[in-house]
Structure 1
Amino acid sequence: MKKGGILNRHLSGALAELGHGDGVLVCDAGMPVPDGPRVVDLAFRAGVPSFAEVLDGLLAELVVEGATAAAEVREANPGAAALLGGLFPALRLVPHERLKELSRGARLVVRTGEARPYANVLLRCGVFF
């Protein structure tokens, strides 16, 4: 048994399969999940687990070289916008419809229980060297 880090076996295994350039969509409970990518659904109840908690855990285990979010987050969810802006100074903002299109190319979707709008980010995996 693992003694730390991400304990969810489905999520831990999916992360181990990622490579450079792969996309990981971390999304709220309302984001349409596209057909194709592997999905790990962590949603339990509205707000549990939160977008911030899941993103924090993922960033502790992943090398991320880029991030894309919906421009609508700035007005609709200032808390998520501030979180993403602080974590990713070069955050790319696109219209929400474009983010949904881009998410079809993700290798992994991690659905949270977040119940605030536009708490979604598409991460691009990097390399540790």
Structure 2
Amino acid sequence: MKKTALLNAELSHLVATLGHTDEYTVCDAGLPIPESVQRIDLALTHGIPAFIDVVTTLLAESQIEGVIMAEEFPQVSPELHTQLRELLHAEERRSAKTFTISYLSHEAFKIRTHQSRAIVRTGECTGFANVIFQAGVVF
């Protein structure tokens, strides 16, 4: 049996096959997912699994260098946005790497998801709880 935290086979495959600057999205239950992008659907019911739990697990398994969020996220869901920013800062300290963090309008964000290698759908029902991660390198 696998020793690290990530047990989901599809997510493990995604992380193992990411190349430098590849993008993947973690989203709430409502974000539209383009037909052309792989959907990894973890949503079980409202709130399960939670967005922050999925992000925490993926950050432990993958190196990122960039983060993209919707401009509306901090205003509409300030508590979850703050949790995510704190998690990102902790990961920067742990990895000794700095991430670029940028914001797009929600409409531009949805268009940007078309570039994702995969979109991971959570059961999160908090508005604008969506993030695009850009893969980094561990060296």
Instruction: Summarize the alignment of residues 13-52 of structure 1 with structure 2, pairs less than 5 Å apart.
Output: 13-52=13-52
- The 3-state SS of whatever aligns with 2:61 is coil
TM-score normalised by structure 1 residue count: 0.94
Is the aligned partner of 1:125 residue 2:119? no
Distance (Å, rounded) in 1 between the aligned partners of 2:84 and 2:105 = 16
Is the aligned partner of 1:9 residue 2:9? yes
- The 3-state SS of whatever aligns with 1:10 is helix
Structure 1 unaligned regions, length at least 5? none
Residues 26 and 51, structure 1, Cα contact 8 Å, conserved in 2: yes
Distance (Å, rounded) in 2 between the aligned partners of 1:45 and 1:22 = 29
Pick the structure with more helix per residue.
2
Deviation for aligned residue 1:15: 1.6
Identical residues among aligned pairs (%): 40
Structure 2 unaligned regions, length at least 5? 90-98
Q: Count how many residue pairs are aligned between Structure 1 and Structure 2.
A: 129
80, 102, 108: which one aligns with 1:92: 102
Residues 85 and 91, structure 1, Cα contact 8 Å, conserved in 2: no
The one-character-per-residue Cα deviations of 1:65-91 (angstroms, maximum 9, x if unpaired) are 000000101111012221232215742
TM-score normalised by structure 2 residue count: 0.88
Equivalent residue, structure 1, for 2:78: 78
